[in-house]
């Protein structure tokens, strides 16, 4: 990684900002790092180690000489710039949903399916920020006792929708405490002192796109299309870190203590599960950390093969920026920056 030239598209956004923070900690001496965003941010200065990066407007011509392009923007922009970056010879690691479900695009959580980077054709996607923690927890359990069905109810922070809703939560809370009316702009409804049982658009079956993503992406990452999954995704007035109450049904009974043992052995997962000491993961504590935290692990009283648990992870780090950087590290470690197959990816 230290020798590579990288570009960050969306460097001024919620994920891009966290990305630069992590890259600065790990790779402050990167010889060439290009910060790209929209024309609105062109000329803006971002600090990176002892340097300043001057933000440039991203265009199809931005990628000459770049090895890895990290993209954290809307799908529309990813669809335009991703193929241009591949055509310029870079590998693209995309945070959005634009390419995730394409057969030619690996969808990767390195601790779970890192080997999938080996069949990339220029673009690798990272999963949705609620899917990644679920896959991290499901994987070590599924390996020893196949999962039949998952029911997941999420409590997703406002930063999952970008930097604008973070500002909105702060300002709306202040306004409401001052007796003023809420004035939602970035989100559809008031988020201060409220929860919104909808993330992304509704589909014909009554689920939202976010809920469909959790199902399809979990199946793709775990290579397990047979796992049934039903999610309800809810936005809550929390700045950072997504939580989920997860019910997992296995083929055979899974004792809670066995699950704790398996999860303790899983890289990137921390078990915090001591009810007697009121110890369980909470978003405020988890924010800024790299681990996926799991607690409240117990037998499901409604099913003999079921377990219930509570999962929390920083959506901007493991849910997005950190996972992207780990994918790049995986590419370098496996010596597959250049695709081993011809590119089939197009806009």
Ligand X SMILES: NC(=O)c1ccc[n+]([C@@H]2O[C@H](COP(=O)([O-])OP(=O)(O)OC[C@H]3O[C@@H](n4cnc5c(N)ncnc54)[C@H](OP(=O)(O)O)[C@@H]3O)[C@@H](O)[C@H]2O)c1
Q: Is 150 left (phi over 0), alpha (psi -120 to 50) or beta?
A: beta
Question: Minimum distance between the CB of residue 15 and ligand X, rounded to whole angstroms?
Answer: 4
In angstroms, how far is CA 204 from the centroid of its own chain? 25
Reading across the β-sheet that carries 147-156, which strands appear in turn?
Answer: 228-235, 147-156, 242-250, 306-313, 292-299, 269-271
For 132, the token pair is 């990644």
Contact status, residue 214 vs residue 311, Cβ threshold 8 Å: no
CA pair distance 108, 330, nearest whole angstrom = 10
- In sequence order, the 6+-apart residues with CB closer than 8 A to the CB of 264 are 271
CB of 267 to ligand X, least distance (A): 20
Q: Stretches 32-40, 140-148, 248-256, 305-313: which one binds ligand X (CB under 6 A)?
A: 32-40
Which spans in 6-130 are helix H? 14-27, 75-87, 110-113
Residue 102: CB minimum distance to ligand X, A = 15
DSSP code of 182?
Answer: P
Neighbours of 180 (CB within 10 A): 11
Active-site residue list:
129, 242
The verdict on 305 binding ligand X (CB under 6 A) reads no
- Residues 274-293 binding ligand X (CB under 6 A) are none
Q: What distance in Å separates the CA atoms of residue 111 and residue 287, rounded to the nearest whole number? A: 20
54, 35 contact by CB (below 8 A): yes
Does 82 help bind ligand X (rule: CB under 6 A)?
A: no
Kindly state whether residue 233 participates in binding ligand X, applying the rule CB under 6 A.
no
Contact status: 123 vs ligand X (CB under 6 A): no
For the bound state, the minimum distance from the C-beta of residue 324 to ligand X, rounded and expressed in Å, comes to 9
Indicate whether 95 belongs to the interface with ligand X (CB under 6 A).
yes
Instruction: Answer yes or no whether residue 160 interacts with ligand X by CB under 6 A.
Output: yes
By CB under 6 A, the residues from 162 to 191 that bind ligand X are 162-163
Kindly give the interhelix angle for 322-333 and 14-27, rounded to the nearest 10 degrees.
50
Q: Which range of residues in 69-77, 202-210, 214-222, 282-290 is near ligand X by CB under 6 A? A: 69-77
| By the rule CB under 6 A, 74 interacts with ligand X | yes
Site for ligand X (CB under 6 A): which residue of 4, 6, 7, 10? 10
Contact stretch for ligand X (CB under 6 A) within 106-114, 156-164, 176-184, 292-300? 156-164
Residue nearest to ligand X (CB): 13
**Residues 307 to 326: which contact ligand X by CB under 6 A?**
315-316, 319-320
At its nearest, how many Å lie between ligand X and the CB of residue 178?
26
CA-CA distance, 65 to 136, in Å (whole number)? 34
41 touches ligand X by CB under 6 A = yes
> Comparing C-alpha atoms, which of 28, 17, 19 is closest to residue 50?
28
Residue located via tokens 């799991």: 294
Task: Please work out, in degrees rounded to the nearest 5, the angle formed at the alpha carbon of residue 37 by the alpha carbons of 34 and 38.
Answer: 145
Q: Which of 129, 254, 312, 331 binds ligand X (CB under 6 A)?
A: 129
105 binds ligand X (CB under 6 A): no
> Does the footprint of ligand X cover residue 4 (CB under 6 A)?
no
Nearer Cβ to ligand X, position 217 or 300? Answer: 217
Q: Counting every residue, how long is the chain?
A: 347
The binding site for ligand X (CB under 6 A) comprises: 9-16, 37-38, 40-41, 58, 72-74, 77, 95-96, 129, 159-160, 162-163, 315-316, 319-320
């Amino acid at each position: 990684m230290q020798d590579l030239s990288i570009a960050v598209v969306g460097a001024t956004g919620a994920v891009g900002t966290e990305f630069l923070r992590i890259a600065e900690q790990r790779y402050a001496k990167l010889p060439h790092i290009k910060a790209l965003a929209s024309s609105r941010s062109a000329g803006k200065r971002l600090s990176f180690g002892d340097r300043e990066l001057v933000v440039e407007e991203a265009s199809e011509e931005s990628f000459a000489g770049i090895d890895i392009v990290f993209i954290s923007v809307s799908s529309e922009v990813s669809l335009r710039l991703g193929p241009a970056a591949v055509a310029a010879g870079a590998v693209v690691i995309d945070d959005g949903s634009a390419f995730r479900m394409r057969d030619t695009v690996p969808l990767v959580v390195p601790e779970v399916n890192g080997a999938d980077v080996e069949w990339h054709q220029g673009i690798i996607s990272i999963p949705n920020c609620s899917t990644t923690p679920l896959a991290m927890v499901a994987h070590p359990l599924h390996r020893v006792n196949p999962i039949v069905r998952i029911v997941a109810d999420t409590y997703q922070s406002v930063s999952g929708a970008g930097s604008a809703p973070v500002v909105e939560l702060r300002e709306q809370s202040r306004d409401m405490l001052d007796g003023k009316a809420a004035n939602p702009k970035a989100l559809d409804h008031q988020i201060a002192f409220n929860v919104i049982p909808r993330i992304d658009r509704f589909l014909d079956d009554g689920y939202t796109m976010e809920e469909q993503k959790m199902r399809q992406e979990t199946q793709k990452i775990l290579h397990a299309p047979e796992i049934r999954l039903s999610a309800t995704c809810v936005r809550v007035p929390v700045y950072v870190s997504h939580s989920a109450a997860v019910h997992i049904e296995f083929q055979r009974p899974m004792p809670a203590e066995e699950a704790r043992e398996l999860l303790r052995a899983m890289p990137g997962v921390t078990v915090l599960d001591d009810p007697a000491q009121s110890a369980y993961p909470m978003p405020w504590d988890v924010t800024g950390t790299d681990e996926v935290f799991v607690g409240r692990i117990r037998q499901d009283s409604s099913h003999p093969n079921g377990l219930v648990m509570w999962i929390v992870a920083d959506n901007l780090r493991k849910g997005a920026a950190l996972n992207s950087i780990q994918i790049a590290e995986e590419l370098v470690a496996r010596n597959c920056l250049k695709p081993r197959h011809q590119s089939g990816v197009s806009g």
